[in-house]
Amino acid sequence: MNMAVEEAIPRVVGEGKSPSTVRFWHNSNTIVIGCFQSARLEVNMEACKETETEIVRRFTGGGAVYHDSGNLNYAISLRKGHPLVPGLNLQSVFEKLSEGSVQGLRKLGVKAQFQPVNDIQVDGKKVSGAAGSIRWNTIFHHGCILVGSDLSILGKVLNVPRAKLEDRHVASVQKRVTTVRDELGRDVSTREVRDAIVSGIESCYGVRVKSGDLTKEELGLAEELYQTKYSRLEWNLEP
C-alpha cells in the first residue's frame, strides 16, 4: 500500500488538487526495486524467504533499496513549473531536492554531502539514496535514509553484481553504506531524523511545512493503484 500512496500523491498534486507535499513513511522488511530492474537478477529470493522480506517495485528508476523500521523514507511532490525546480533536468532536480535532507542531516551532526547521480554520502559511504521522475505534471523526488537499518540483512537479500562494486574496491554492499546511527555513534530515532529533515527543508527552501493527513482523493487513488498495480505479481516481480 505504501507504494500505491507514493504514486497517488504526485498524481493528485499534478492535477492541482493537492498542494506541494512532503511525505515521510516507513516500511517493514521490504526490498524496493527500481522500475527498470529485474527482480530475478537483483534479489536473492531465497534469502528474502528466509528473512521474510517482501519485494515490491516502485514507479521510479534507480537501484534496489532495503527498507526496515530503521529507515526513513521521504517523498517530495511539486507541481511542474514550481519555482524551486524551474528546469526539467533530472540531475538538477535530484540535487536541488536532496538539499533539504542534506541540510537536515548536517543539523544532526552528520557530515552529509550530495553525490551525483542520486546519493547522499558521508566520507564516500552512502547514507541515503534517491530516485525521482517528471511525470503527471509533477516533479517527484523520493529517498530513503538509513537511520538504524540492519545492514546485515541488506547484504543477504540483494544480489549486487561484481560490476557494480568493482570500482569502489569493496567486496560487499555493506561496506558501501553507513547509517545515521553509526555516523553519530549513538541511537537515533527516525522521528528525530524526520524532524531534522523538516527543519532542513524549511530553512533550505524558505517554506513552512504543515502536517496533514492524506486527502480522500489521495486515499481513493491509492486504493485503486494498490488493487490494479502494486498488489500484483506482474508488476512487482516480472520480468
Between CA 187 and CA 182 the distance in angstroms is 8
Q: How far is CA 100 from CA 77, 146, 172, in A?
A: 14, 16, 29
Among 10, 70, 100, 132, the residue binding another protein under the rule CB under 8 A is 132
Q: How many CB atoms lie within 10 A of CB 212?
A: 9
Region 180-209 residues binding another protein, contact defined as CB under 8 A: none
Shortest Å, Cβ 78 to another protein:
15
Q: Which of 46, 81, 89, 124 binds another protein (CB under 8 A)?
A: 89
In terms of C-beta distances under 8 Å and separation of at least 24 residues, what long-range contacts does 225-232 make, across chains too?
225/4, 225/7, 225/8, 226/1, 226/4, 229/4, 229/7, 230/1, 230/3, 230/4, 230/7, 230/56
- Would you give the binding string for another protein spanning residues 160-179, x where CB under 8 A is met? -xxxx-xx------------
Quick one: which of 59, 74, 205, 230 contacts another protein (CB under 8 A)?
59
- Under a CB-based contact definition with an 8 Å cutoff, are residues 153 and 172 in contact? no
Assess contact for 65 and 89: CB atoms under 8 A. Answer: no
Nearer to another protein, 89 or 203 (CB): 89
**Interface with another protein (CB under 8 A), residue from 28, 38, 203, 228:** 38
239 touching another protein, by CB under 8 A: yes
Confirm or reject binding of residue 3 to another protein (CB under 8 A): no
Residue whose CB is less far from another protein, 128 or 190: 128
**Are 105 and 65 within 8 A, CB to CB?**
no
Least distance CB 186 / another protein (angstroms):
32
Q: How far apart are CA 179 and CA 93, in angstroms?
A: 24
Q: Which residues bind another protein (CB under 8 A)?
A: 34-38, 41, 59-64, 88-91, 94, 117-118, 131-135, 161-164, 166-167, 239
